[in-house]
Structure formats: C-alpha cells, structure tokens
Amino acid sequence: MAHLLTARQKWQLALRLVIFFSPVLLYVNMPDAQRSHIFSPIFLCILVVFTSLTTLMYFIWITFTDWIQYQIGIWLGKDFLMKFSIGALLLSIVIALGLSVAYTFTLRYTIKGIISIVYPIWPSWPEKKPMELSPDTWSYITRFNQGFSVVIMFSAFYLTLNFRAYQQLKDVQLKTEQLEKEAVLAQFAALKSQVNPHFLFNSLSILNSLIYEDVNLSGKFVQQLSKAYRYILEQRDQELILLKTELDFIESYTFLLKIRFENKFDVLVDVPADIKNHYQITPLALQMLVENAVKHNRMSVTDPLLIKIYYEAPFLVVENPLQLRDQPDVSTGVGLSNISNRYALLTDLKVSHEIINQSYMVKIPLLR
C-alpha cells in the first residue's frame, strides 16, 4: 500500500456506499404516512440533495480513511492492517468507531444547517410537524441510525483497505511481469551471444586454409563473410526475423562452406515465395542446424552431404542424410538445444527432431 487512492477511485467507493446503504436508510427513516409522497417533486428534490450530500460526506471520510491507512502502513508496515491479528482488529475498530461518531455528528448538523437555510426561502417547503412517537421509539431510531453509521464506516474502512490491497496486488503483478520479461530478454540475449564467436571462429578457420590456395577466391570469401557477419550484427537485437532474410543469409553461409568442401557439400532450399515473405524464424537457427550437420556427418565427392530445407506446414524442415563421422567434431554446446531454448522463450510450439529412413530431420515452427 505504497500509494494513496486517486480521486476517481475514492468517488467510485463513495458511490458504492451510497448504492449499498441509502435504500436501507430511506426505508427505515421514512414514516409510513410519507411514503405515498415518494414521487412528489419536493421529495425527489430532497432525495437528490440528501444523496449528493451523503456521497460528498462518504468521499471526505474515505479520503480520511485512506490517509490514515497510508500513515499506518508507513509506521507499522504496509501489510499490518491486512493481517489477522488482535492488534490489527482492535486498531480497525477504534478507527471505524472514531470515524462513525465524527460522521454522525457532521451529517446531522450539516442537514440541520441546510434545512435552516432552505426553509425560510422556500414557501412550498412542508410545514415541520413533530412526529407522534414514544421516547422509546425515538431512542430506537436514534440508536439504529448511529449503529448503522458504524456499519457504514466499517464498510468504508474495509472497502478502502480492500481497494488498496487490490492496487498493491496489481503493482506486484506488474513488477513481476516486468522482471520476468527482463529475465527472458537477458536469457534470450545470452543464448544468441553464443552463436557469434563460434560462427566467426569457423569462418576464420576456413579463410586460413583458403588464403594460401587461391587469392582471388579468398577475396570473394571475405566479401561473403563480411555480408554474413553484417547480418549477424544487424539481427543481434531481434527475437524474430523474416524467413526470406534468414534464407538469404543461408545462401551466403552455404557459399562459404562450399568453398571449403567443394563438391562434397550443398544446401537445397525449397520454400514457396509466399511462405518466405509471411513467416518468421529465430535468427541464425538455420545456420546452426547446417553447421551441426557439417560437424557430425562425413562427406565426399562420391557421397556428398546434401542438406534440404523445405516447408511442411506449419514447420520449416531441415533434413540431412545420416552418415555420421567416426570421430565427429567436438560440440560447443550450441545448436539444437540453443534453438529449442530460444523458441521456448517465444512460443508454446516445440522444436522437434527425428530420424526417418536414415535421414535426420529437425522441424522448426514458423511464426507470424
């Protein structure tokens, strides 16, 4: 309960009290003889004035209640009044009784003051006639109204407390959601940051072996490498990227790998143009799957490694023949688990993988 209620919230609570209790007060305090005049202009006018005055009084008392609860929260702890303890209960009773006494006297003398002003200047005001009631009846009516005022103040106290607790709960929920989002973004950034050093390390290894063999080809390799790495730098702050953009990057990445492996390796992409332009994918997901296929499978001129990328609604499938190396490259821990973790932060759709007819397939959900 770190904040005071707004004026709008206080008016809302005041109107609730009026709606809850005014009909009961009207029913108890209106004599039977006057009930036939309930729709008369004078009575309706009195009703409007009384309702407006009561609403204003409730608003003022809710403001007092809110301020008192705020101060108690500062002194005794923000959750003190919400605890089921004797101290909190006694303090609530004392506050409600004090407010009810003040409310009763203030309302009584305010109404008397209004009547004393209106009566002389309103000729049509009904002549004041004392009601023929016994002292016991008057005492009962007085005690009822006083007791009812206590009930109203208790209601105002706990409605205000409940409203403040609700606001506190909303604040906690917002903070929790914000912290969860920040944690997700931090985790997502950490997962993505695993890719960049590994990609650059592999590319530099390829360039190191190529630069002594063909200077012209190494120049083209550097151009494609700069194009590919520019893509990595541009998408590093994005959670999703257009499928077409990722496939364009795969084209450059494939060029880099084909220079190294020559006729032993290729990537075939079969994805309709409308699918490329309407769906999104996590950046570098395809690159990691292609890289994993190269690391774990053997390749030769007679038995090339052919990786297929195609659309199978609602997934993008990356398939390669299962021809495992006797001694595959050491894994760095990125790859399929990285992709699965990144998708887990973005959607309920799962990344799946399976082996069918000596082919290893990974299915990546396509997102809009």
Q: Residue 261 belongs to a domain with what CATH number?
A: 3.30.565.10
Residues 206 and 325 in one domain: yes
Describe the strand order of the beta sheet including 352-356 as a list of residue ranges: 265-270, 305-312, 315-321, 359-365, 352-356
Do 282 and 321 touch, CB atoms closer than 8 A? no
How many structural domains compose the chain? Answer: 2
- Per the listing, tokens 């607790």 go with 165
CA distances from 40 to 37, 44, 117, 218 (A): 5, 6, 21, 100
Q: What is the pLDDT of residue 247?
A: 92
> Do 244 and 321 have their domain in common?
yes
pLDDT of 125 > 60? The answer is: no
pTM of the predicted model, to two decimals? Answer: 0.48
pLDDT(103) > 50: yes
Same domain? For 104 and 78 the reply is yes
Name every residue whose Cβ is closer than 8 Å to that of residue 321 and which is 6 or more positions away in sequence.
297, 305, 306, 358, 359, 360
Question: Mean pLDDT highest for which of 47-51, 101-105, 290-294?
Answer: 290-294
Computed over every residue of the chain, the mean pLDDT equals: 77
pLDDT per position as a tens digit, 47-63: 787 788 888 888 888 88
Together in a domain, 168 and 144: yes
Q: What is the pLDDT of residue 263?
A: 77
User: Once rounded to an integer, what is the mean pLDDT over residues 99-124?
Assistant: 69
Residue 126 lies in a domain: yes
Residue 314 CA to residue 360 CA, distance in Å, equals 18
Inside any domain, residue 158: yes
Q: What are 312's strand-pairing partners? A: 315
- Residue 233: per-residue pLDDT: 75
Distance in angstroms (rounded) separating the CA atoms of residues 176 and 160:
24
> Residue 340 — left, alpha, or beta (φ > 0 → left; ψ -120 to 50 → alpha)?
alpha
Do 169 and 235 lie in a common domain? Answer: no
Rounded average pLDDT over 284-308:
86
> Minimum mean pLDDT among 184-188, 293-297, 308-312: which range?
184-188
The C-alpha atoms of residue 361 and residue 352 are separated, in whole angstroms, by: 8
1 band by pLDDT with thresholds 50, 70 and 90: very low
Q: Assess whether pLDDT exceeds 60 at residue 330.
A: no
Residue 169 CA to residue 335 CA, distance in Å, equals 40
> Predicted confidence band at 333 (pLDDT cuts at 50, 70, 90)?
very low
265 with 207, same domain: the answer is: yes
Does residue 34 lie within any of the structural domains? yes
DSSP letters, 316-339, are EEEEEE--B-SSPPPP-S-SHHHH
Same domain for 172 and 232, yes or no, is no
Q: Tell me, yes or no, whether 169 and 239 share the same domain.
A: no
Phi, psi angles (nearest 5°) of residue 320: -145, 150
Give Cα 310 distance to the centre of its chain.
36
Q: Are strands 305-312 and 315-321 parallel, antiparallel or unpaired?
A: antiparallel
Domain boundary among 179, 205, 227: 179
pLDDT, residue 37, reads: 59
Q: Which of 24-28, 270-274, 282-286, 337-341 has the lowest mean pLDDT?
A: 24-28
The answer to whether position 51 is within a domain reads yes
Give the model's pLDDT for residue 195.
Answer: 55
Are residue 352 and residue 216 in the same domain, yes or no? yes
Higher pLDDT, 300 or 125: 300
Residues 206 and 291 in one domain: yes
* The last residue of a domain, from among 129, 154, 179: 179
Q: Does 189 fall in a domain?
A: no
Judged against a pLDDT cut of 60, whether residue 274 lies above it is answered with yes
Question: Is 267 strand, coil or helix?
Answer: strand
pLDDT digits (tens, 9 = 90+) for 183-232: 666 555 655 555 556 667 767 777 777 777 777 777 787 888 888 878 87
Structural domain range at position 308: 194-365
**How many Cβ atoms from other residues are within 10 Å of residue 252's Cβ?**
18
Answer yes or no: do 236 and 299 share one domain: yes
Q: Which residue has the higher pLDDT, 81 or 252?
A: 252
- Asked whether residue 226 falls in the same domain as residue 165, the answer is no
pLDDT score recorded for residue 184: 62
The encoded tokens of residue 137 equal 């009846």
Look at residue 214 and tell me if it is in a domain.
Answer: yes
Last-in-domain residue among 129, 145, 179:
179
